């Protein structure tokens, strides 16, 4: 007979799933879900509260609630890299974000590849970026599916099998992303973010006091009994490798398409900048999450999978079942808050950046929005399949995905600041960087134990710049116009200046038919 406490612990996360589904479906009415702009960008009307939680909750995911404690438990101080890159990762967006937002409103962009491939005038680049993006999204989704599978399976004490534990939350996500698009993701992230903040701090402070009598006694005992656990650069994570993980994660932070695309959703540039300034406050959530992992170092010695340290601690302590149930619901919210944003972005990219430019450039807006919705279910299905059979550690999955996404950084910088950057340079650079990253991720040991994505970034840059210098920009006036339009209106150069568009034959952004439309297959 199943114990009453197990039923209570299981019921609370399931009730949370039902509430999340209802909220996701309710929010659809705030934007026209039958248009691309409404489905992808929420009609560009998202305010500070929702944008803050979208940006925060989209990053602090199943990786944070499961992989973060897992690294603190198994690798100790090396897990602090999560705090470092999280603190610095949003800083570039204070510069890039407003520029991207302005271009989105001027040119009608709603995805990352919209902007980049329009600037470089290449449908092939759009397709290549879509493949790289979705290819990186799949392991990121696998992380979340494994996370929700762990949570419900542990919460139910095995009553709900892993395959069903992983399936139920993603079925909920698929339904509200299908029906409500960006607005469903946004308001769900508000709910999920609030739950994460409250429950992470509650559990992160409770466990050290329950097991050790406080934070200081916990670290004093670890220092006395396992001192290498508190040293960065231990054999499991040499300093050079540790540093490369920070660099790649910080630089690649806002290159993730689902975060990049949020610049298009803000209702104003002021909202976007305030979100960037406030974002580090959400990173404080990582402190109690790491404390959870450290609290298990001396109490759990035979855990085969470090990513299970949080559910293991919660279920083995004599806690009130209602409290345990809420903790599991918080972990479930963490995984879902990232998963819904990724599913939404992956479906949008599949239709907008892959199918449309390569196979049906003339597709109308409503058919495109429908295609995005239909792409939701196969994307979830593919990630679910890999989640059931992939033995890779959660943090390693995320690190590999970052290595792929960071290759977009030179192309973004070139498009925003360097009119001399060319299509050939962008294509050659991206291909070189992605190839090097794949090589050192799957087929060969990375030199100096550096993150494979760092070698890829060096390759992308080393190819992108010289190839651009030896090839010609097809439309230098348009390249300069992109840079001009990315600036605030009060400081824009007039058309005809070196940074603007020449008046004799150049592109006039106010000409009929140009408003809200890029030039490359849009």
Which stretch of 228-232, 359-363, 473-477, 501-505 has the lowest confidence by average pLDDT? 501-505
Q: How confident is the model at residue 182 (pLDDT cuts 50, 70, 90)?
A: confident
Confidence (pTM): 0.81
The reported pLDDT for the residue numbered 234 is: 60
- Tokens for 369, please give them: 């929005």
Backbone angles phi, psi at 46, to 5 degrees: -85, 130
Report the 10 Å Cβ neighbour count for 1.
Answer: 3
The reported pLDDT for the residue numbered 474 is: 87
Side-chain half-sphere CA neighbours of 144 within 13 A: 29
H-run or E-run covering 8: helix 4-26
Task: Report yes or no: 218 and 377 within 8 Å, Cβ to Cβ.
Answer: no
Distance in angstroms (rounded) separating the CA atoms of residues 345 and 52: 18
Backbone angles phi, psi at 505, to 5 degrees: 95, 0
Q: Which residues of 7-28 are buried (b: 16+ CB within 10 A; e: fewer)?
A: ebbbebbbebbeebbebbeebb
Q: Enter the DSSP assignment of 494.
A: P
Q: Which residues of 298-314 are buried (b: 16+ CB within 10 A; e: fewer)?
A: beeeeeeebbbbbbbbb
Query: Over the stretch 17-26, which tens digit does the pLDDT of each residue have?
Result: 888 888 888 8
pLDDT at 463 over 90: yes
The reported pLDDT for the residue numbered 61 is: 64
Which stretch of 87-91, 179-183, 363-367 has the lowest confidence by average pLDDT? 87-91
Name beta bridge partners: 266: 46
The reported pLDDT for the residue numbered 506 is: 39
Q: Which residues of 262-295 are buried (b: 16+ CB within 10 A; e: fewer)?
A: bbbbbbebebbbebbeebeebbebbebbbbbbbb
pLDDT at 173 over 80: yes
Task: Spell out the alpha helix ranges (H) of 213-317.
Answer: 215-225, 239-252, 257-260, 269-283, 286-295, 309-316
The reported pLDDT for the residue numbered 455 is: 94
Which stretch of 144-148, 223-227, 345-349, 375-379 has the lowest confidence by average pLDDT? 144-148
Q: How confident is the model at residue 63 (pLDDT cuts 50, 70, 90)?
A: low
Residues 246-275 have a mean pLDDT of 85
pLDDT at 72 over 70: yes
pLDDT at 422 over 80: yes
Query: Over the stretch 13-51, which tens digit does the pLDDT of each residue have?
Result: 899 888 888 888 887 666 667 788 888 877 788 888 888
User: What proportion of the chain, given as a percentage, has pLDDT over 70?
Assistant: 88
CA-wise closest residue to 253 among 69, 139, 97: 97
pLDDT at 504 over 60: no
Q: Is 407 exposed, middle or buried (0-12, 13-18, 19+ CB in 10 A)?
A: buried
Backbone angles phi, psi at 225, to 5 degrees: -100, -30
pLDDT at 407 over 70: yes
pLDDT at 409 over 50: yes
Distance in angstroms (rounded) separating the CA atoms of residues 65 and 334: 7
pLDDT at 144 over 50: yes
Rg (CA), the chain: 23
- Average pLDDT, whole number, for the chain? 82
Query: Over the stretch 439-461, which tens digit does the pLDDT of each residue have?
Result: 888 788 889 888 888 999 999 99
Select the more confidently predicted residue: 416 or 388.
416
Select the more confidently predicted residue: 490 or 221.
221
Residues 229-240 have a mean pLDDT of 73
pLDDT at 283 over 90: no
Residue 77 CB partners (closer than 8 Å, separation 6+): 229, 230, 231, 232, 234
Q: How confident is the model at residue 399 (pLDDT cuts 50, 70, 90)?
A: low
Q: How confident is the model at residue 507 (pLDDT cuts 50, 70, 90)?
A: very low
Select the more confidently predicted residue: 87 or 377.
377
Residues 465-482 have a mean pLDDT of 93
Domains and CATH numbers, the chain: 33-491 (1.20.1730.10)
CA-wise closest residue to 484 among 464, 456, 509: 509
């Amino acid at each position: 007979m199943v114990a009453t406490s197990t039923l209570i612990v299981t019921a609370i996360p399931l009730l949370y799933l039902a509430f999340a589904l209802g909220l996701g479906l309710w929010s659809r009415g705030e934007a026209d879900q039958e248009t691309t702009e409404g489905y992808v960008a929420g009609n560009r009307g998202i305010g500070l509260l929702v944008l803050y939680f979208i940006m925060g909750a989209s990053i602090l995911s199943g990786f944070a609630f499961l992989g973060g404690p897992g690294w603190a438990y198994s690798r100790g101080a090396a897990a602090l890299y999560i705090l470092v890159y999280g603190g610095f990762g949003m800083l570039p967006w204070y510069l890039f974000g407003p520029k991207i937002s302005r271009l989105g409103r001027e040119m009608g962009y709603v995805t990352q590849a919209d902007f980049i491939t329009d600037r470089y005038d290449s449908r092939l680049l759009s397709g290549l970026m879509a493949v790289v993006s979705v290819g990186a999204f799949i392991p990121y989704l696998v992380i979340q599916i494994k996370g929700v599978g762990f949570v419900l399976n542990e919460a139910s004490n095995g009553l709900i099998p892993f395959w069903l534990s992983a399936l139920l939350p993603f079925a909920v996500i698929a339904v509200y992303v299908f029906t409500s698009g960006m607005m469903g993701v946004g308001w769900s992230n508000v709910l999920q973010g609030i739950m994460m903040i409250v429950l992470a701090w509650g559990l992160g402070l409770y466990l050290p006091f329950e097991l050790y009598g406080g934070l200081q006694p916990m670290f004093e005992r670890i220092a006395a009994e396992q001192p290498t656990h508190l040293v960065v650069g231990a054999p499991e994570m040499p300093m050079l490798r540790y540093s490369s993980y920070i660099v790649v994660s910080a630089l690649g932070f806002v290159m993730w398409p689902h975060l990049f695309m949020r610049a298009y959703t803000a209702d104003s540039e002021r909202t976007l900048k305030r979100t960037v300034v406030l974002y580090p406050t959400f990173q404080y959530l990582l402190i109690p999450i790491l404390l959870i992992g450290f609290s298990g170092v001396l109490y759990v010695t035979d855990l085969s999978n470090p990513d299970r340290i949080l559910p293991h601690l919660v279920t083995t302590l004599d806690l009130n079942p209602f409290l345990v149930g809420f903790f599991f619901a918080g972990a479930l919210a963490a995984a879902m808050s990232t998963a819904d944003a990724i599913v939404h972005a992956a479906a949008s990219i599949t239709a907008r950046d892959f199918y449309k430019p390569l196979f049906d450039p003339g597709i109308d807006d409503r058919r495109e929005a429908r295609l995005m919705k239909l792409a939701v279910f196969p994307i979830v299905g593919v990630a679910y399949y890999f989640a059931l059979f992939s033995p890779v550690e959660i943090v390693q999955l995320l690190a590999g995905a970052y290595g792929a996404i960071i290759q977009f950084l030179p192309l973004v910088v070139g498009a925003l600041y360097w009119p001399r950057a060319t299509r050939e340079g962008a294509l050659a650079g991206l291909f070189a960087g992605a190839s090097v990253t794949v090589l050192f991720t799957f087929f060969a040991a990375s030199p100096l134990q550096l993150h494979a994505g760092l070698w890829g970034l060096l390759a992308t840059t080393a190819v992108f710049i010289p190839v651009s210098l030896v090839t010609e920009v097809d439309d230098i006036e348009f390249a300069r116009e992109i840079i001009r339009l990315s600036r605030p209106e009060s400081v824009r150069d007039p058309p005809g200046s070196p940074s603007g568009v020449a008046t004799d034959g150049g592109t006039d952004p106010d000409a009929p038919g140009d408003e809200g439309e890029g030039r490359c297959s849009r």
